Structure 1
Amino acid sequence: MTDAIRGLEPQIFWNCFAAIAAIPRPSGHEERIGNYILERAGQLGLERAKDDSGNIVVKLPATPGKERVASICLQSHLDMVCEKNADKVHDFLNDPIELLRQGEVVTANGTTLGADNGIGVATALAIMEDQTVEHGPLELLFTVEEETGLAGAKNLSPSLVSSRSLLNLDSEEEGALYIGCAGGKDTVGRWQLLRQPTPAGWVALRLTVKGLKGGHSGLEIDKGLGNAIKLQNRALMRLAGLGARVAAINGGNMRNAIPRECAAVLCLAPEQVAQAHAVVADLGATFAAELATVDPGVHLVLEPSEAGPATVLDPQLQRQVLQTIASLPSGVQRMSADIAGLVETSTNVSVITTEQDKLVLITSQRSSSASRLTEVVETVQCILELGGAVVETSEGYPGWQPNVDSPLLKLAQRCYRNLYQKDPEVKAIHAGLECGIIGERIPGMDMVSFGPNMEKVHSPDERVYIESVARYWKFVLEILKSAQ
């Protein structure tokens, strides 16, 4: 047993969480964790199945006296966002996550923790292992590739699940029951690279934005966090005024994360280098002042590049790219008029990469309003096209319309009141839960989503609160026990 979970309760849950943390599970590489679940279910003599997309269901028979209770599905996703600090050596395809306990939280050593959605997976596995849990018939549904576009849920075989009540264990706020979520799309711009030889005698430099918190581009889009790509672009625009020529820009890692770091390689005439350092120092101070309250770790660094690039971007292409990024909105676009505090519509500049022959910019839009989602996608698309990019928009995923009369919601509310003598909050979330797609794939599914307190998901600062997990576990078991 790892020291990080030693003595934590419920022990069976934390043992399962540690077991899956040891199994690499990036999106698109869920085979090992899937095989682990199938093998363990087989050892326990449980019925299990897998569809063509890799989604898995394990069926648990009812405990004595609960045979006539309607079946409930516990749903979680197997994959995790793979982010790490720049100085952390970690291979997400082969290395286990190193768990750490820091006071009241469990976190990881320089990487994402995978509590999103390892909490849900560990819950299902612990219930599978724990013979003392009282429940009716259960289906444990594990989906794949949630973090890279909800692909598993989109291709879920409806015949895999017979339940018509589903507990989605993929939320991050204790005491909140989610009954609705945003839909979303990705809008990607690509520029064909045109290059010129680097001017002879020019100095090669590397400009880096780092130290930002990053985070989930839905759940934390309203926090005012710094976007490394947008900040980097502000600096590049200023340096372009000194004649700087850009060779490459790379920043962000995930379409659904606010980018924490961005780096650019550029060249500058020797006589402009001192002025460039002054500009960067001034902008660095500006960024620090702007983000002092919400993202105080921001750093803007200009330093010599180890190897000078042989070519730089064509000046017209460079101008198009920088002006386009400057023009793109990023952040909250509209708050909900119906639910206080809920972001209705947002957009995020997520990832930029310089490839061999293309420069690629990935953006992500979300909204709980289908028409507003269309509007913000079209806005981003128009800006990219005006900037000379070839634009592609993803198929996207649907939102989940709230049902305040849901029988499963009423059961969950009653169980929470019985346990904690207060009412849970009923909410919608500005993120793409799989519930919207599952409800489309399996019409008539009654769904509620909840989880324990987590913070900084999709970043190396991801953490889950230990005592909150214990209360969440009791809540799950109370619902299963009380279902009629």
Structure 2
Amino acid sequence: MKPANYPQQPSHLWEHFYQFTQIPRPSKQETAVRQYLLDLADKSGHRCQMDTEGNLVIYVPGSSGKEASPTVIIQNHLDMVTVKTTDREHNFETDPLTLQVCDGWLGADRTTLGADNGVGCAAAIALMTDPEVVHPPLELLFTVDEETGLGGALNLDASMLTGTLMLNLDTEDWHELYIGCAGGAGWQFSRSFSQEQVAREAECWQLTIRGLAGGHSGIQIHEQLGSAIKLLGEGLRGAPGLQLASIDVGVAHNVIPREGTATFVCDAGAGAALKQQLEALRERAVGYLPAADSELEMELVATRVDASLDEVDSMRLLDLIAAFPHGAQAYNLEQPADLVDISINLAILRLEQGELYLESSYRFFNEDQSLPLQHSVLALARAFDLEVTPDVGYPGWQPDFTSPLLEQGCVLHEKMFGHRPAVKAIHAGLECGILKSKKPDVDILSFGPTIRGAHSPTERLQIDTVEPFWQFLKQLLAEI
């Protein structure tokens, strides 16, 4: 149900975004939301084309007087990250989101909102449905499966596109224009451990970590947000006679892990001391973690365990967690201090019935600069006898400060808002790099309204940035 105080203007954009929040759209399950777009295009009489991957292009002729203007590609992705808090009952495959407006922000009830990239999609559709918009010929490109590895863009049939100008609406800071993004890749690791029966006199426990903020592993990696995997490994290290039974932490390669559990056994009588150690660790961690992680909890409760790793393999696994790199690895020497050049996210760790699975992704602007990090991780994999499956990588988008589209955007921004925008590159995997590699002649500019907490249950959209974003988009198209 739409909140009573749901934003009203611009009406077309906000209505389309609301519909997006009511249609489930996890990665690889974009059929329903794509049908929504197809129905709108059919109603408007616009031609559509879809490739074998499921990427969709809607062709919108130029408005009166703009028919012969250069064609502009408007690019967004259909899928959203699906993360919720443990106390929230929500099925992202079937349930609509429950929206909330609070203190000028639009969010969802303990789930991701999907403003990344739903608000950009809504703006693109509004260009088609709002008769007052003056625009050149448009190719509205909606890609699929962005959040789980940019699969839609990687497999896009670029022959569907003719435009040589492109506006990507997938960045998250208003009054900033983006002209570059990081590339990335990653790995999946696995190995098998033998298990043994748990001694009758041993204590069995479950450790739960919750309350961390989590977030986007690209644009928030410099914030030094707490990692549930790292803290879990640190918390278990002091348990005498530790034997790990199971671990379940993390949800996706591009999400900083915010909560998880581990079950284990330890020496009889060790539980009370371990609880004190965990409380001391929590107090230390809150002392150095950012304020967003101040709700960190570490809960230890008795459980039942039948089989576990032995002590040697358990400590070996904790050593792997401690040694595995995580976070920002290098900062840009020319851009502002918060622009990360290289980062890595230790994203997922699972241990079940002796089977270990680990997933990690890394980002870079210059892939050559990331080679030492890659070599370090692969050396760890060899040292810990891990099988390695590389994930498909994607190229970065190298900044072009001489872009005519950039200059046009800067001049217009200053005219409309009284100051030039910040021009930046982003340490996240926008699809722009992939699309540029497929269409080298395209001139790209990226911008969007302000979003905070992307890829986490605190994701929220700053309402008063949407109207100026929309006006800027409309005027830029009117002047092309």
TM-score with structure 1 length normalisation? 0.96
In structure 2, the partner of 1:435 is 432
1:6 Cα shift? Answer: 3.5
Equivalent residues of 2:149, 2:392 under 8 A apart: no
In structure 1, the partner of 2:351 is 354
Q: Which amino acid aligns with 2:131?
A: Q
1:319 Cα shift? Answer: 2.1
Deviations 1:323-349 (A, max 9, x none): 011011211111111212211111111
| Matching of residues 464-483 of structure 1 within 5 Å | 464-483=461-480
What SS does the corresponding residue of 2:293 show, helix, strand or coil? coil
Whole-angstrom CA distance in 2 between matches of 1:4 and 1:126: 22
Whole-angstrom CA distance in 2 between matches of 1:267 and 1:251: 18
In structure 1, the partner of 2:245 is 247
1:476 Cα shift? Answer: 0.5
1:36 Cα shift? Answer: 1.2
| Matching of residues 54-453 of structure 1 within 5 Å | 54-239=54-239, 242-291=240-289, 293-305=291-303, 308-341=304-337, 342-356=339-353, 358-453=355-450
Equivalent residues of 2:136, 2:477 under 8 A apart: yes
Equivalent residues of 1:258, 1:348 under 8 A apart: yes
Deviations 1:202-252 (A, max 9, x none): 22211111100011011001111101100111011122xx11211001101
1:357 Cα shift? Answer: 5.4
1:294 Cα shift? Answer: 4.8
1:432 Cα shift? Answer: 0.6
Equivalent residues of 2:195, 2:353 under 8 A apart: no
Equivalent residues of 2:242, 2:314 under 8 A apart: no
Task: Summarize the Cα distance change of 1:392–1:4 in structure 2 as closer, same or farther, 3 Å threshold.
Answer: farther
What SS does the corresponding residue of 2:238 show, helix, strand or coil? helix
> Which segment is superposed worse, 286-295 or 28-37?
286-295
Deviations 1:356-385 (A, max 9, x none): 552111111111111122221221121122
Q: Which amino acid aligns with 2:444?
A: M
Whole-angstrom CA distance in 2 between matches of 1:272 and 1:356: 24
Equivalent residues of 2:6, 2:101 under 8 A apart: no
> Which segment is superposed worse, 101-110 or 319-328?
319-328
Equivalent residues of 2:309, 2:354 under 8 A apart: no
Deviations 1:67-120 (A, max 9, x none): 110000100000000000010000000001111101210000010000000011
1:5 Cα shift? Answer: 5.4
1:395 Cα shift? Answer: 2.5
Q: Which amino acid aligns with 2:479?
A: S
Whole-angstrom CA distance in 2 between matches of 1:355 and 1:377: 27
Task: Summarize the Cα distance change of 1:327–1:123 in structure 2 as closer, same or farther, 3 Å threshold.
Answer: same
> Which segment is superposed worse, 309-318 or 245-254?
309-318
In structure 2, the partner of 1:37 is 37
Task: Summarize the Cα distance change of 1:7–1:255 in structure 2 as closer, same or farther, 3 Å threshold.
Answer: closer
Question: Percent of pairs identical after alignment?
Answer: 37
Whole-angstrom CA distance in 1 between matches of 2:26 and 2:353: 25
Deviations 1:106-161 (A, max 9, x none): 00001000000001111111111111100010010000000000000000001111
Equivalent residues of 1:320, 1:388 under 8 A apart: no
The unaligned stretches of length 5 or more in structure 2 are: none
Deviations 1:147-186 (A, max 9, x none): 0000000000011111111100000000111111111111
TM-score with structure 2 length normalisation? 0.97
Q: Which amino acid aligns with 1:290?
A: Y
Whole-angstrom CA distance in 1 between matches of 2:93 and 2:477: 35
Q: Which amino acid aligns with 2:251?
A: N
Q: Following superposition, which runs of at least 4 residues in structure 1 exceed 4 angstroms of deviation? A: none
Equivalent residues of 2:212, 2:292 under 8 A apart: no
In structure 1, the partner of 2:25 is 25
Task: Summarize the Cα distance change of 1:7–1:276 in structure 2 as closer, same or farther, 3 Å threshold.
Answer: closer
Whole-angstrom CA distance in 2 between matches of 1:7 and 1:295: 30
Whole-angstrom CA distance in 2 between matches of 1:356 and 1:207: 17
The size of the alignment, in residue pairs, is 479
Whole-angstrom CA distance in 2 between matches of 1:409 and 1:426: 9
Whole-angstrom CA distance in 1 between matches of 2:28 and 2:393: 18
The unaligned stretches of length 5 or more in structure 1 are: none
Equivalent residues of 1:457, 1:463 under 8 A apart: yes
Deviations 1:406-426 (A, max 9, x none): 121122112211211210111
What SS does the corresponding residue of 1:472 show, helix, strand or coil? helix
What SS does the corresponding residue of 2:200 show, helix, strand or coil? coil
